[in-house]
Amino acid sequence: MIATWTLAAFEVDVIKEWCIRIQHASRQLIGPKEDFFHCSKCNLCLALNLQGNHKCIENVSRQDCPICLEDIHTSRVGAHVLPCGHLLHRTCYEDMLKEGYRCPLCMHSALDMTRYWRQLDDEVAQTPMPTEYQNMMVEILCNDCSARSMVQFHILGMKCTSCESYNTAQDGGCRMALEQQ
């Protein structure tokens, strides 16, 4: 004989709520569910203002903090999501900003540097290069947009022609401009 169960509507609601809480707890959600959402790809609960507005990296919460090398997912220290999608402990992020502005994993800018780039534009314009470097061109790789370009060398920095960031690295050799060859 097979037993059949009939559940009252309130019992079904209780079971649903219990399942949601278990699922909620296994996702490491912190704070009230009205203020957070769970990103399945990142495997992380994030503030609602980041919904549809963050770069997903699969299982990013299961990686160790690249600064202190401790587990982020089980840490009691809050996490900070960088614009590139990588995670750091909030305290590690604050310490990182004292030393630099780039993600330690991918080298993307960790915050909006637009104002600083404008200041650097002014400094580059006001800083003359020695004559032997005035026509030197270098190939650069932009750490923010990944574009490669050939730009004029400057001791203060080389500006990406695609996104106008100075977060660049020399990628290859240098050569003199055509009029000097």
Domain boundaries, the chain: 9-99, 129-180
Give the integer Cα–Cα distance in Å for 78 and 90: 6
**pLDDT of 26-35, one tens digit each?**
444 455 667 7
- Which segment, 45-54, 56-65, 124-133, is predicted with the most confidence on average? 124-133
Whether residue 8 is predicted with pLDDT greater than 80 in this model: the reply is no
pLDDT of 117:
97
Tens of pLDDT, residues 140-163: 999 999 999 999 999 999 999 999
Tell whether the model's pLDDT for residue 93 goes beyond 90.
yes
By the 8 A CB rule, do 34 and 43 touch? no
Q: Does residue 126 register a pLDDT over 80?
A: yes
pLDDT at position 176 over 50:
yes
69-90 mean pLDDT: 86
Pick from 84, 124, 77, 90: which is nearest to 105 by CA? Answer: 84
Task: Measure the CA dihedral 146/150/154/157, to 10°.
Answer: 0
3-state secondary structure of 39: strand
Domain 129-180, CATH among 3.40.50.300, 3.40.190.10, 3.30.70.980, 2.20.28.10: 2.20.28.10
Cβ pair 169, 140 in contact under 8 A: yes
Q: How many whole angstroms separate alpha carbon 58 and alpha carbon 43? A: 7
